[in-house]
Structure 1
């Protein structure tokens, strides 16, 4: 099938077999696992995943690709969910791992959508390298920000692999990388009020060059910060995730 990549779907198709093999190693699919692949495209990952699994489910929006998948795989091998991943209720899949080469233009909304489902046991995605660096960033570096905090408070995030542009057709203008996100088990993150945490983090990083006491003025006082053991003279990028959670608990 000669499929013309569609810009509106953010389509860039993997074609480097050595990279595909490395990505499958990163995913490490096990025979009895329930895995959903978002955006299978021309089956670069789909085919080796099917070879390792009893059955695979894919989520795809492009009707031409759906027809391609139906012609190349049997219903016993592949369940095709036609639709937008942002509108899919992933709770319906039970305990599930979610993988894929996400369209870069909607990758962050998809990550936050998936983060709401407690049945998602692990995610392994190819994203724009810059986004992966921000997801995995630690305090005290410029990449550390809202994306880092709002995902890391729930997930253990691991930067796994770089993927160069020439691995795709058409070659994107940016580098890519593989990231793994696994729900944290070291504490009960369900007790964190996500709405309050999001408010604090958004306000802090909207003015990231200011001190935390200035950027949170009107929300939290310098005295309250000090009572938590947070240095009010630090900037947002210097504040640990645990401290942002403590601040949010005062609201």
Structure 2
């Protein structure tokens, strides 16, 4: 066990290892894993959360990028009967290969800050397979996910995550819970894919396109940011004032704009 903790965190992997027992217990309590469930942990690191997840009796697959941690994790957990380790990049991992049925996977991870947003988008593409997700993220990222229209945090991440999931900002975690300590505060978020989405776009790809274009120049009005996609008449047909800035629109309005784009293509 002692050699496990000699592994030094690597900046290029964005590693900050969780060591605070109180925080670990609080995370495990929020996840509340059960024996009949299938969990997937992204970036187990030194196994701070892994041990507790396996203690539930659940099936657990872990995905670890750092090949130096792989033998250490195998030494510590390979005797567990329902444990499987995958060495690789979670950004390229096909989560469909693990899912036995829709909404069967529970995803857990202390995500490196440098890849958290693209990884969230990668997982949203697998949302029909996922029951819920619990992540440790930079506090600022969680605040953006949970944001409401009208504020500076409302943007592409807020809209696309909330289109697919219910977002719950559970609690904050200070830098001292990690080794090495990051320079920012962290937070735990629960993302639960909608069983029935409150707003359904005719073409989700067009929704992504509309949102991306709208927030590329967020200080400009919609008639300016969307002029390459929708004219003034199409924006009005969606029931949207083209003189507004993108942060002033709610999710439903963006879906209506996306439907206008889908209809015209």
Tell me the TM-score normalised to structure 1 length: 0.95
What's the CA shift for 1:120?
Answer: 1.6
Whole-Å Cα distance in 1 between the matches of residues 260 and 208 of structure 2?
13
1:76-155 aligned at under 5 Å gives the runs 76-94=81-99, 95-117=104-126, 118-155=128-165
3-state SS, counterpart of residue 41 of structure 1: coil
Question: Does the Cα contact within 8 Å between 2:61 and 2:84 map onto a contact in 1?
Answer: yes
Q: Tell me the matched-pair count.
A: 251
Whole-Å Cα distance in 2 between the matches of residues 32 and 107 of structure 1?
28
Aligned residue among 13, 17, 20 for 2:24: 20
Could you give the per-residue CA deviations for residues 151-196 of structure 1, whole angstroms, max 9, x where no partner exists?
1111111111101111000000111111111111333767542221
Q: Which runs of 5+ in 2 are unaligned?
A: none
What's the CA shift for 1:9?
Answer: 1.0
Q: CA RMSD in A?
A: 1.5
Q: Which runs of 5+ in 1 are unaligned?
A: none
Could you give the per-residue CA deviations for residues 189-209 of structure 1, whole angstroms, max 9, x where no partner exists?
675422211221111111111
Tell me the TM-score normalised to structure 2 length: 0.90
3-state SS, counterpart of residue 244 of structure 1: helix
The equivalent residue for 1:179 is 189
- Alpha-carbon spacing, 1:37–1:235, altered in 2? closer, same or farther (3 Å): same
3-state SS, counterpart of residue 100 of structure 1: strand
Could you give the per-residue CA deviations for residues 129-172 of structure 1, whole angstroms, max 9, x where no partner exists?
11111111110010000111111111111111101111000000
Question: Does the Cα contact within 8 Å between 1:154 and 1:189 map onto a contact in 2?
Answer: no
